[in-house]
Amino acid sequence: MHTAQLNFFVGSHVWVEDPDVAWIEGEILESKDQVITISNESGTKVVSKSANIYPKDPEFP
């Protein structure tokens, strides 16, 4: 099975998988290859693989 690759851009709002709270909301600060740096709601930086990140739909907060 082949899955589609999502492209993430600086400034995009996303959900990132978190082992403690399931999902956290954040904004992309940097994107290099498959490694994405995100600033979460509390201002903490999170680094994750793109496979663990999903776009946030602005119509459904």
Give the span between the Cα atoms of 15 and 25, in whole angstroms.
5
Query: For the segment 4-59, what is each residue's pLDDT rounded down to a tens digit?
Result: 567 789 999 999 998 888 899 999 999 998 899 999 988 899 999 999 999 998 76
Please tell me the pTM assigned to this model: 0.80
Residue 17 and residue 21: Cα distance in Å, rounded? 8
| CATH number of this structure's domain 13-55 | 2.30.30.360
Give the neighbor-by-neighbor strand order of the sheet with 45-49: 45-49, 35-40, 22-32, 13-18, 53-55
- Please answer whether residues 52 and 21 qualify as being in contact, where contact means their C-beta atoms are separated by less than 8 angstroms: no
> What are the domain boundaries of the chain?
13-55
User: Do 6 and 14 touch, CB atoms closer than 8 A?
Assistant: no
